[in-house]
Chains A and B, each alone.
Chain A
Amino acid sequence: MASIINATTTNGVAISADNSGILQLATNSGTTALTLSVAQAATFVSSVTATSLTAPILSSATTLSLQTNGSTTAVTIDASQIISLANALPVTSGGTGNTTGATNYTGFKNRIINGAMVIDQRNAGASVTPTNNQYLVDRFSATLSQASKYSVQQNAGAVTPPIGFINYLGVTSLSAYSILTGDTFSIAQAIEGFNVADLNWGTTNAQTVTLSFRVYSSLTGTFGGAINNTDGTRGYPFSYSIPVANTWTQVSITITGDTTGNWLKNNGNGLKVNYGLGVGATGGSGTAGSWQAGLFVSATGATSVVGTSGATFYITGVQLEKGSTATSFDYRPYGTELALCQRYLPAWNMTAVNQVIGQGQATATTSAAIYLPFKVSTRVPPTGTSTSAASTFYLTASGYTVAGTVSTISGQYYGTEGAEIGIGTSSGLVGGNCTTLASNATSSQILFTGCEL
């Protein structure tokens, strides 16, 4: 029972009273709208509209929920004041696009290194017509079954990169080549197993990943790529559309983690992301959208870039991240990205003459050994060197004078922390003395090869 103040539709306000201590307000001739309990708790039968609320705004003994669309909970605040969102806070709202707790989006979010194509230690922006397995901008390599079908250059064609980027990797077709069934033309990045171990691929706890990138082509249509494992026994072909020519298109592909197969979790090839440029039926094309046994680099029916002379294919902002949503590109400091690259390519790129590269000891009047410590521990010890011409270097003799003319540069001892190179020169050294290797040109370059995946 309750004392009731009732707004009738015939006799105005009617009041009935009792001793319950409960008060009700009723409208429409007896329909209860509000009940005030003996403890002053208010219960509204219908919705409450207010132009403002003052603190305490809302209170709840345990959990507070905000609901929309009938009674679907959107936000929950628990008794410890911890907020949970039912759905992701979008990137456009300052969020990450990921549901709270679903992914570790801090730290090494993007497993691709040099996804913005900024670092080009080998070629410094010069165009190359790659041979099979040749490296391009850092961490990206070319695969090709026929020579001289495409060239690759950082910022080829000098188009305006997509907003937020200053570089891209540009592929240009050098002919109108009709691919054969066994042909493969692609670019790819292999990711070290340590950097994808947490994906747990090859187990029942395999994590979903999302691959995103910006792509630009003179061609339109369906293009293809694939992710595959180290021994080429598992692959996931994917396809994507470029609907408008010569316009940057943002692509996002979500891939459920593979629960079977051999996925390395050490310093070997953990997984490889491939972009097809023209792949034949037996060259690595497969039906898009599912994990399959075998080696794949593209999707069946994908456009062949090498099939059109002068066709272009530009790509940047490549990101592979854990989770089912593509989030904003993971911009890392330049120095960090360079260091990440040097784990796979220790390099000395000198920018002026007379810059010291390293010091060592003359082993005879015409030879010296120079030790070069690496700035970053390499994935594996290098197995070779690639240097600019001998004339771009010199050794010092007594009194810091130039010791003859350098003729040969070759690696001798390799480790993950550094390497020793042997230098041959025409004259001027004294065996046992210290000597310095320095740059004799602005293009002096020493690369240690064999650390890449």
Chain B
Amino acid sequence: MMNWKLIRNPMTGIDDVVWRVLDDGRQESCLVTSEAYLQWLSEGNTPEPAEVTP
């Protein structure tokens, strides 16, 4: 399973969503304020940075 990766909102320019691909190919995303993601952060994990489109 890949790490959570930040997604930049094209309209606001804010990285407010994280996304990842699971081992079986399914994809998940959630708000950076969601409980599960905050729990993951609290365990010392760090997300991949968002890709910035020039």
Contact = CB atoms under 8 A, between A and B. Distances in A.
Contacts of B28: 384-387
A364 B53 contact: yes
Given A410-B7, A422-B7, A389 B53 contact: no
A254 B10 CA distance: 55
B25 A409 contact: no
Interface residues of B, number: 19
A148 interface: no
A383 B34 contact: yes
Contacts of A387: 26-28
Given A364-B53, A450-B34, A409 B27 contact: yes
If over half of A's interface residues share one DSSP class (helix, strand or loop), that class is named, otherwise mixed; here it is strand
Interface in B8-54: 9-10, 17, 19, 21, 24-31, 33-36, 53
B25 A390 contact: yes
A363 interface: yes
Contacts of A363: 10
Q: Which 7 A-B pairs have the closest CB atoms?
A: A384-B30, A389-B25, A410-B29, A383-B34, A410-B19, A385-B29, A387-B27
8 contacts: A383-B30, A383-B34, A383-B35, A389-B26, A390-B27, A411-B30, A411-B31, A412-B7
A410 B34 contact: no
A367 B9 CA distance: 12
Interface string A82-105: 000000000000000000000000
A389 B29 contact: no
Interface in A406-428: 408-412, 414, 422
B34 A389 contact: no
Interface string A374-415: 000000000111111111000000000000000011111010
A408 B19 contact: yes
A387 B22 CA distance: 10
A386 to B, nearest CB: 5
A449 interface: yes
B4 to A, nearest CB: 11
B42 to A, nearest CB: 16
Contact of B31 (A364, A369, A409, A414): A414
A79 B28 CA distance: 67
**Which of B10, B21, B29, B34 has its CB near the most chain A CB atoms (within 10 A)?**
B29
